[in-house]
Amino acid sequence: MNKLYGLLLLICAGGAMFLTILFFAQPAPIEVKMVRLDEEMVKENEAKMKEEEKRQQAAHAAQARADLEKRLYRCKSNEECIIVDKDPCGCARGPQGVTAINSDLSLEYSKLMEKKFAKIEVCPDVASKEKECSPKARPVCEANRCKIAY
């Protein structure tokens, strides 16, 4: 058994010697081809990555706004709804200036409106007398959605 084991080791050693000689007998070293990156290519790639990150952030923000808007108007009873200004001018802008939302989300709604209307606007002097702005207007929950009833 020891002779067989020794013979096997001798064959392996011979094979290793043969492969080593074959490797070093090559006329040239093994070529490794690599793409050479210059500074312009690196900057272009970084710009693409930043653009993709901005696009993903914008998509995420848009999805978050859409989810918030769905939740803003969702309700189960009239008590959950309140009338709020949809525009900094409110009823002075007319019926487009007000809406009904879920009262639990009034803080989120205020933050959303602050971002949307960051600049100061000049409002009309006279408030609208239309039904959405009349004293009879009240928030109601119809079909699980906050609305203004008159």
68 burial via Cβ count (<10 Å: 0-12, 13-18, 19+): middle
Q: List, for residues 18-68, the tens digit of each pLDDT value.
A: 888 887 777 776 777 888 888 888 899 999 999 999 999 999 988 988 888
- Residue 136 pLDDT more than 70? yes
- What total of structural domains would you count in the chain? 1
In a domain, 12, yes or no: no
The reported pTM is 0.57
Q: Is 139 contained in some domain?
A: yes
Could you tell me which of 88, 149, 80, 134 has the C-alpha nearest to residue 113?
Answer: 88
Residues in the chain: 150
Contacts 24+ apart (CB under 8 A), 47-56: none
The verdict on residue 131 lying in a domain is yes
Q: Which domain holds residue 121?
A: 75-149
Residue 122 has pLDDT above 80, yes or no: no
Block residue for tokens 């809406």:
99
- Inside any domain, residue 116: yes
Has residue 122 been placed in a domain? yes
Establish if 86 belongs to a structural domain: yes
The CA angle 125-128-134, to the nearest 5 degrees, is 135
Helices 106-116 and 39-73: crossing angle in degrees, nearest 10, is: 130
Q: Calculate ∠ Cα 82-86-91, nearest 5°.
A: 90
**pLDDT > 90? residue 74:** yes
Give Cα 47 to chain centroid, integer Å: 19
Inside any domain, residue 22: no
Please give the residue that has the higher pLDDT: either 55 or 5.
Answer: 55
**What is the average pLDDT score of the chain?**
85
